[in-house]
Structure 1
Amino acid sequence: MAVATARELKDALFEAINDHDLDRVLECYCPNAVYVTPVGVAEGHEQIAWQFEHLFEGFPDLRIAAWYKFAPDEPAATEYTLVGTHTGPFLLPDGSVVEGTGRRIAVRGACACSTENGLIITDRDYYDQLELYSQLGYRLAPVPVP
Structure 2
Amino acid sequence: MIFKYKKLIRPINATDIQLIRNIGSELEKRGYLISHLDTRSITFKDNFWHFGSRSEAFKRVDGGKFEINPEQGNISFTFYISLTSEIVVTAVMILIALFDGPFILFLIIFFWLMFFVRVFALRAEGKQLFVSLIKAE
Q: TM-score range by the shorter chain?
A: 0.3 to 0.5
Please give the TM-score of this superposition, normalised by the length of structure 2.
0.35
Choose between structure 1 and 2: higher helix proportion: 2
Please give the TM-score of this superposition, normalised by the length of structure 1.
0.34
Whose RCO is larger (CA < 8 A, sep 6+)?
A: 2
Greater C-alpha radius of gyration: 2
